[in-house]
Amino acid sequence: QYSPEKSSMENRNTSLDDIAGIEALKDEMYELIKFLRDFQKYKDVGAAVPGGILLSGPPGTGKTLLARCIAGEAGVPFFSVAATEFTDMFVGIRASRVRNLFPAARKVAPCIIFIDEFDALGQKRAGQSGTEEGVDERVATINQFLAEMDGFEEKVGVMLVAATNRPQVLDPALIRPGRFDRIIEMNLPNKSARSDIIRLHITKRDAWGNCEPDLDIDYISKLSSAFSGADLENMVKQCIAKAAGQKGGMATTEDFLKIINSIRATKSFSSGSKD
């Protein structure tokens, strides 16, 4: 039932250069990439195998992107699934969905299984709602999942990367030591990270020609506090589209500031980075 995403070929063109503002994490990421690339060598010498990674942080901070970049940089298949896919299915099918995913991944290992909205899985075990039967099913699903996770010790080369916006509601059993080796916080970017993300998105769109040469990225970053990577991408996209729509149009710092205000007006920014 599960197959590596159709976009896994596309992943091969994705690398850590496609993500910005995560300098502090890059060394750690290269370690994981090296493991995935040289999996056979690690296996042959019986070296320690890295366990799962939990990426925790607000929406749009690049958790999915980071997982894709690791897979792309390592050139391995990428299975992406939302935990709600396990929990929303008809009673009776859920546990087998989980059962199917892991063998499919093992067949093409080394690879990454990315599980988004991981808290949906953990939360359900609390069984706050649903019928008795539904609760039993959830427990079976989680237990199946935990069994599969623990099976990673067999050194099969399947790296589990999970993401959550709400680490506080995770079932402690899911993050018990030994199940996830590392919990990585993906916070909202600070000013210098925002500058890097803005530059990256302008470059990626090959859009320097649509921006005034003296664009004040430092000032734009300063005024876009509390923006996530996804908000910054959206900001760049809107500015470039507007400039490209005007004859000989060039996006100015002022244009960016206007778009920042309009994005702010459509989103509630309850928390932000410190600068």
**For residues 94 and 124, is the Cβ–Cβ distance under 8 A?**
no
**Choices 55-63, 103-111, 122-130, 137-145; region in contact with ligand ATP by CB under 6 A:** 55-63
Tell whether residue 22 is a contact of ligand ATP (CB under 6 A): yes
Smallest separation (angstroms) from ligand ATP to the CB of 163: 6
**For residues 147 and 98, is the Cβ–Cβ distance under 8 A?**
no
- Return the residue of 15, 50, 64, 250 that touches ligand ATP, per CB under 6 A: 64
**For residues 170 and 52, is the Cβ–Cβ distance under 8 A?**
no
Binding-residue total with ligand ATP (CB under 6 A)? 19
CA distances (Å), origin 27, targets 15, 122, 230, 251: 14, 30, 23, 35
Q: Residues 177 to 196: which contact ligand ATP by CB under 6 A?
A: none
β-bridge mates for residue 115, sequence order: 81, 162
Report whether the peptide linkage leading into residue 59 is cis, meaning its omega lies within 30 degrees of zero: no
211 or 232: CB nearest ligand ATP:
232
Smallest separation (angstroms) from ligand ATP to the CB of 116: 6
Smallest separation (angstroms) from ligand ATP to the CB of 117: 7
Smallest separation (angstroms) from ligand ATP to the CB of 11: 13
Q: Residues 105 to 124: which contact ligand ATP by CB under 6 A?
A: 116
**Choices 120-128, 144-152, 227-235, 262-270; region in contact with ligand ATP by CB under 6 A:** 227-235
**For residues 115 and 163, is the Cβ–Cβ distance under 8 A?**
yes
CA–CA separation, 160 vs 178, rounded Å? 12
**For residues 239 and 215, is the Cβ–Cβ distance under 8 A?**
no
- Return the residue of 15, 84, 143, 165 that touches ligand ATP, per CB under 6 A: 165
CA–CA separation, 144 vs 146, rounded Å? 5
Tell whether residue 60 is a contact of ligand ATP (CB under 6 A): yes
Tell whether residue 200 is a contact of ligand ATP (CB under 6 A): yes
Tell whether residue 69 is a contact of ligand ATP (CB under 6 A): no
- Return the residue of 11, 14, 19, 194 that touches ligand ATP, per CB under 6 A: 19
**The length of the chain, given as a count of residues:** 275
**Choices 56-64, 130-138, 219-227, 254-262; region in contact with ligand ATP by CB under 6 A:** 56-64
**For residues 1 and 100, is the Cβ–Cβ distance under 8 A?**
yes
- Return the residue of 29, 95, 197, 211 that touches ligand ATP, per CB under 6 A: 197
**Among 151, 2, 127, CA closest to 77:** 2
